[in-house]
Amino acid sequence: MTQISPDAITDCLRTVLDREVAADTDIFTAGVDSLAVLRCRALLKERTGVRVPGHVFFEGRTPVRIADLIGAEHAGR
């Protein structure tokens, strides 16, 4: 499985930030920094086995867009 759902991402963000995050929330205006991305990425890896490159979070900015980009990155390989 190389697809990750927006829900999987919002779940991880919720755990890391300890607050609600919607699928269309801009995570960087919601207080996510590099360390939060690091923790979220580790959780995603633990839960899905997929290691998401850091730039996907910064380019996507919202869980929906991030999930799209992950799909695109894998489709492109």
Partner 1 sequence: MLVVEDSPLYSPEFFADDDPWAYLAGLREHDPVSLHRRDDGYEFYALTRYADVYAAYVDHRRLSSAYGTMIDGSYLPQKDSASGRMLIVSDQPEHTAIRKPIKTSGFSRDMLGRVGQTVRRNIRGALDSLSVGDRLDFSKVIAPELPKGVLEVLFGIGAEDARHLLDATRTMIGYRDEAYAGSRPLDALVDAQLDVLEFIDDLIVKRSTTGPAEDMIGFLAQCVAEGAMPRDVAVLNGLNVAVGGNETTPHTASLTVHTIDQEREQWRKVASGEVGPDVATQEFLRWTSTNSYVQRLTVEDFEVGGHTIPANSFVALWNMSANRDAEVFDAPDSFRIDRTENKQIAFGAGVHRCVGAPVATLEIQTFIEELADWDKAFAVVDPPRRLHSNFMLGLTELEVEVVDAKELGT
> Is 59 an interacting residue with respect to partner 1 (CB under 8 A)?
yes
Stretch that binds partner 1, among 2-10, 11-19, 54-62, 67-75 (CB under 8 A): 54-62
Take residue 11 and report the two structure tokens written for it. 């779940």
Q: Is 29 in the site for partner 1 (CB under 8 A)?
A: no
Round to whole Å and give the CA distance between 58 and 48.
Answer: 20
Residue 54 binds partner 1, judged by CB under 8 A: yes
Tell me: does residue 55 bind partner 1 (CB under 8 A): yes
CA–CA distance, 51 with 42 (Å, rounded to integer): 8
User: Tokens 């890896």 sit at which residue?
Assistant: 45
Contact residues: partner 1, CB under 8 A = 33-35, 37-38, 41-42, 53-55, 57-59
